């Protein structure tokens, strides 16, 4: 028998032996093939509110690039209130106050007070009124975002376990990647969907099935279940930002607290 015929038969036999392996890989990846497209379309009020805040100019004043509050001569505290660690809490005590600022430039109680109106008129930079410029749904998203940033409306408020988890998330930088209150949406080139997932919605359901798998993500930056999927591995090898493994930096009790915080977020409508 010619040597080239024998060689061809061997190659054909090897290809046939590989078929079951390839078929298994394809079957494992199939459920995720559709999800790779659907991931791009999930949204939530905080994510929409943050995008809108950027689009209509809110963040130009309330979250300036330099990270310091903008001077505002004539205003009560001398600066434009900045989100997160600024003096916004001195202006708004509730989400109703925030909505008043967004709709009318100030809460109704302020506008009904002649002295406050005089002071507002004398300051150099004045909060614009978005009533008529934005629809009710858009205003609701802006208010939800601002209230979450300022801690006026947080999931699981009053639950010490949730509060401890939120504090841990802030201390370890989780919100820098996963967004305000875990809303997600931060860009991640090369990843499944092109962004870092949040904690609400079906995206999280795909990645984390229970507390044990959540702990795997925290400790190892990955999940054993998903690591077996060839399509997931394809994206993991190409994404720009990977989940960092925290190893033993967090105790089991602290992971329980983080899990309680995530659970509170997921229970919100």
> Domain containing 213 — which CATH number?
1.10.760
What is the rounded CA–CA span in Å between residue 256 and residue 162?
9
Q: 208 and 269 in one domain?
A: yes
Which one of 105, 136, 153 terminates a domain? 153
Residues 68-121: tens digit of each pLDDT = 888 999 988 888 888 876 566 678 889 999 999 999 999 999 999 999 999 999
Polymer length in residues for the chain: 269
Largest CA distance in the chain: 105
Contact indicator for 262, 215 with CB cutoff of 8 Å: no
* Close Cβ partners of 32 (under 8 Å, ≥ 6 residues apart): 192, 206, 229, 231, 232
Same domain, 178 and 258: yes
> Cβ contacts of residue 225 below 8 Å, gap of 6+?
209, 213
CA 14 to chain centre: 47
| 262 token code pair | 């995530």
Would you say residue 104 lies in a domain? yes
Per-residue model confidence as pLDDT tens digits over 198-217: 998 788 988 999 999 999 99
Instruction: Give the domain range for residue 82.
Output: 41-153
159 and 265 within one domain: yes
137 and 58 within one domain: yes
Could you give the number of structural domains in the chain?
Answer: 2
268 and 160 assigned to the same domain: yes
pLDDT reported for residue 69:
86
Question: What pTM, to 2 d.p., does this model score?
Answer: 0.78
Tell which of 102, 131, 153 closes a domain.
153
Establish if 22 belongs to a structural domain. no
Co-location of 196 and 127 in the same domain: no
Residue 12 lies in a domain: no
């Amino acid at each position: 028998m010619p040597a080239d015929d024998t060689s061809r038969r061997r190659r054909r036999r090897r290809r046939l032996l590989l078929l079951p392996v390839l078929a298994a890989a394809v079957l494992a990846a199939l459920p995720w093939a559709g999800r790779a497209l659907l991931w791009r379309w999930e949204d939530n009020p905080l994510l929409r509110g943050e995008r809108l805040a950027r689009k209509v100019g809110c963040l130009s004043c309330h979250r300036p690039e330099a990270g310091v509050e903008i001077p505002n001569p004539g205003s009560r505290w001398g600066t434009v209130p900045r989100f997160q660690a600024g003096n916004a809490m001195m202006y708004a005590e509730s989400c109703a106050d925030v909505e008043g600022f967004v709709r009318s430039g100030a809460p109704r109680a302020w506008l009904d007070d002649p002295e406050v109106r005089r002071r507002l008129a004398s300051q150099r930079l004045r909060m614009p009124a978005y009533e008529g410029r934005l629809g009710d749904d858009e205003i609701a998203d802006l208010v939800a975002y601002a209230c979450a940033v300022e801690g006026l409306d947080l999931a699981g408020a009053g639950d010490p376990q949730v509060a401890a988890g939120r504090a841990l998330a802030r201390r370890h930088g989780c919100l820098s990647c996963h967004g305000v209150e875990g809303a997600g949406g931060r860009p991640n080139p090369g990843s499944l969907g092109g962004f870092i997932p949040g904690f609400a919605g079906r995206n999280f359901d795909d990645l984390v099935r229970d507390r044990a798998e959540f702990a795997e993500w925290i400790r190892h930056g990955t999940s054993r279940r998903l690591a077996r999927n060839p399509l997931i591995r394809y994206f993991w090898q190409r994404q720009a930002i990977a989940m960092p493994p925290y190893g033993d930096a967090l105790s089991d009790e602290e992971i329980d607290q983080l899990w309680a915080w995530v659970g509170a977020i997921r229970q919100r409508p």
